[in-house]
A = this chain, B = another copy of it.
């Protein structure tokens, strides 16, 4: 099933906080609750929250009250802002919401039922496109994986981070389905452990050989020559190639550079932001320190101990070997941003 889907007039999410223990879904019929679910990371991953934002707009169009579609626009515009504000760093969320908002603005003279259907159709198309785009990206990226190598991966960028398939782990999946045999080292990715909880769960499902690493250990294996390539996702890529991704990505990029290991950013073009000239233009979300001290309610240390919890960091383009997209494996400047 899909990570984000539309079922019987509601948005259905796989509850990623319950994995790897329980596979559960939650349905939303209110865009405000869906926005809250994005903030609380019931769903996470840049492409996944992009699709969730788009579906949230389809929900809002059903919640809006008005004799005409045009009369419903203020409500829908407010909903767009609420959804965009749910998380600040990944540009896909804004991209998905604004795409459907544009459809609302250009269809404001349609009959209400048709207006609502057109918004839903657009959200559905964004979700369908996401799967296809990820598979195309996987086909390009899997050429980087040779038999017998070891891939280092950070956070979760699999099917759970997208509508389906995935970005960096989508490349891993494509290589696996192409019959290649290789090993994946998964940074556990503190504080929320998306690597240990979600990526390991996915690789168990797919039957791909893996080991979880504490976030302290990747450098050790790089020094021993046991890591051949690094694949990570992105939450926003600036025009110059600087990109924001899960906290810890920047450290790995520095280490890969030091050891001469190829380092690739895998993200669809919907993750690229022409309005961000460089990484300095990307806002970094600060989250609750309780995610560090007591993640998922597990008291690692007393809750009153002080901690910091930046959710993302910025990796400069100078540390990136290449950018895997649905258009191929690119390097800056990204000409598609001008088209």
Contacts and interface: CB of A to CB of B under 8 A. Distances in A.
Interface of A: 20-21, 185, 187-191, 193, 196-197, 200, 204, 210-220, 223, 246-248, 250-251, 254-255, 257-258, 284, 292-293, 295, 298-302, 305-310, 313-314
A98 B308 CA distance: 43
Given A190-B216, A191-B214, A251-B216, A223 B301 contact: no
B20 A302 contact: yes
A247 B212 contact: no
Contacts of A307: 188, 196, 211-214
B217 A310 contact: yes
A170 to B, nearest CB: 21
Give the interface centre of A246, A247, A299 by most chain B CB atoms within 10 Å.
A247
Given A196-B301, A255-B254, A301-B20, A292 B214 contact: yes
Nearest to A190: B214
B305 A20 contact: yes
19 contacts: A188-B190, A188-B292, A190-B190, A191-B216, A193-B300, A196-B305, A196-B307, A204-B305, A211-B307, A211-B308, A213-B292, A214-B292, A217-B247, A217-B248, A217-B308, A219-B313, A223-B313, A258-B258, A298-B299
Contacts of A193: 300-301
Contact of A308 (B21, B212, B313): B212
B310 A220 contact: yes
A88 to B, nearest CB: 16
Given A20-B301, A301-B193, A305-B20, A215 B212 contact: no
Give the interface centre of A223, A295, A309 by most chain B CB atoms within 10 Å.
A223
A200 B20 contact: no
A287 to B, nearest CB: 11
A247 B310 contact: no
Contacts of A308: 185, 211-213, 217
